A and B are shown apart, each in its own frame.
Chain A
Amino acid sequence: MAASITHRVTGSGMATVGTLLFVWWLVALASGPAAYGLFLDVFTVKSGALNVVGYIFGIGLTLSFFQHMSSGIRHLFLDQGANFELKANKTTAQLTYVAAIVLTAAFWAFIIWGKTNG
């Protein structure tokens, strides 16, 4: 139940907020350094680190993506007629949340601390 509505909410969120930010990023990059600088200024501080807005949208969108991806993979198995036993069905639903949180944490840990030049 919860996994189903989460799939819809994360999908709808990425389709609207995610699409607008993605297209803005591409347009800014195509337009030039000034437009790209404006995009960066909204989400980062001078040092290049994320500001509060950057963290909210960055973590919000990546968490949505990894949740939607995990849940989507689970759906592909359900489409085959597999995994309808109550216990396994519930366990895999809960696993999508675990996978989403772990993958999001790993992604940001790599972005923030994984670069050799800091």
Chain B
Amino acid sequence: MGNGTSIGRVRGLGPAKEGTHHWWHQRLTAGANLVLMIWFVVSVALLPAYDFETVRHWMGQTQVAVPLILLVASTFYHFRLGLQVVIEDYQHDETHIVLMILLNFFTLAAGTTAIFSILKIAFSAGAAL
């Protein structure tokens, strides 16, 4: 850190060596979620019906599948960060570590399953079911 100013010598020297990325990513994904979720809610509301063929045909389009995958990535990362804060605020013993591991597993498993399903629908669009 050299012999710079007082603030320069202590900046970044907290126990985590950094501290703003969690906060910033939560805001960044919040903005992305706002746009993507409004698109999703409006698109779903505008669907003529909710039967298998209608919804599947809708999701099979590239211009639906791509934003939907982005929505999964952004919202799932956002809730992963948000639930971390909830866990950290209310769990102070070892269960905190166990819950964080479970949260990471849950987020990755759910996210992978969601994206795989969307891709499967998009890649088989037009094919005989």
Contacts from A to B (Cβ < 8 Å) = 8, 11-12, 14-15, 19-20, 22-23, 26-27, 29-30, 32-33, 36-37, 40, 48, 62, 65, 69, 72-73, 75-76, 79, 107, 110-111, 114-115, 117
Q: Which residues of A contact B33 (CB under 8 A)?
A: 72
Chain B residues 18-71 with CB under 8 Å of chain A are: 27, 30-31, 33-34, 37, 41, 45, 48-52, 55-56, 59
> How many residue-residue contacts, CB under 8 A, span A and B?
75
B110 on the A face (CB < 8 A)? yes
Tell whether, in the assembled complex, residue B37 and residue A69 are in contact, meaning their CB atoms are under 8 Å apart.
yes
> Are B50 and A48 touching (Cβ within 8 A)?
yes
> Which residue on B lies nearest to A37, using beta carbons?
B52
Interface size, B (range): 20 to 34
B120 contacts partner chain A, Cβ-Cβ < 8 Å: yes
Decide if B114 touches A23 in the complex (CB within 8 Å).
yes
